[in-house]
Amino acid sequence: MNKKLGAAIKLRDLQQDFVDNLNAKQIDPIFLSQLEAGVQPAINRFAIYSKNRRAHLLKTLVNTYPVCQKLVGEQYFKRMVSDYIEQCPSYSPSLYDYGFHLAEALTHSPFVVELPYLIDMIRLEWHIHCLLIHADEPLFDWHTLTLISNDRYGDLIFRRPLNSVLMHSPFPIDRIWETNQTDFIGNDCVDLNEGAVHLFIGRVGFELRIDRLTAIQWAILNAIDGKRSLEELLIALDQKVKETVIIESLPVLIKAGYIANFRS
């Protein structure tokens, strides 16, 4: 074997072992034996990287879920996500996608038993995190829409903005999120018994939007998936929303930014 190739393979294996042990609960003593060199024992030198890894993952979760940490406190949050950091290491070259499974991981955690709204707050903050780094959406093309003849309207396929998401919660999580912003001014009391909310969460430029939807808006926007034609949409919503209401609602939804584009 070529000496350079052999050295490259050995280095690659060592790097992979390094990552595997960095994310492992217990360090492999055979791996440590390969690092034995220098004044300090390998375990001490490796611990530096292990502690830095954990600190960076914790900082990433804090930055992604700032309201959650504010709601429960810094130390409580740290304990709450401790197991997640150990059980869900990051193998991605970017930390932007770290924390994706946090809501599911904490669903049955004793840390959230007395805070039933916290799981939905985690989901909301994850949506916000993703939207803030998502590409901008072009403005709706009204001009092209006006050029389409009436007999072709039934073939139009509408879609929501790519940088948007719909979310339902039995708790007023939009109010909880709003009252925990650093620039919030006003009454910060939130009644958890206020009732369920249906939300449109999106971003236009630098503006983040968290809007409450009516039952009709929620039904229509849920049915608009970028695949159904308007005619198919009317059929799908036949038992929930009257056809005339849907037709009248579409311009309103477009102007509000809840529908971003269409194709025929």
Q: How many CB atoms lie within 10 A of CB 99?
A: 25
Strand partners, 212: 199
Pairwise CA distance, residues 127 & 10, whole Å: 41
- Phi/psi zone of residue 115: left (φ > 0), alpha (ψ -120 to 50 degrees), beta? beta
- Closest to 162 in 3D by CA, of 234, 224, 237, 212: 224
Q: Say whether 150 sits in a helix, a strand or coil.
A: helix
**What confidence tens digit (pLDDT) does each residue in 162-176 have?**
899 999 999 999 999
Pairwise CA distance, residues 156 & 143, whole Å: 15
- Please report the domains of the chain, with CATH numbers, ordered by start residue: 3-115 (no CATH), 142-263 (3.90.930.60)
Tell me phi and psi for residue 107, to 5 degrees. Answer: -55, -40
pLDDT score at 36: 57
**What confidence tens digit (pLDDT) does each residue in 204-259 have?**
888 899 999 999 999 999 998 778 899 999 998 988 889 899 989 999 999 999 99
pLDDT score at 88: 85
Task: Write down the residue that tokens 């193998």 correspond to.
Answer: 91
Q: How many CB atoms lie within 10 A of CB 81?
A: 25
Long-range contacts of 241-244 (CB under 8 A, 24+ apart): 241/216
- Averages of pLDDT over runs of 10 residues in the chain (264 residues) are 44 63 63 55 57 84 96 96 88 84 94 94 96 84 88 90 94 96 91 94 89 95 88 88 91 93 86
| Beta carbons of 22 and 14 less than 8 angstroms apart | no
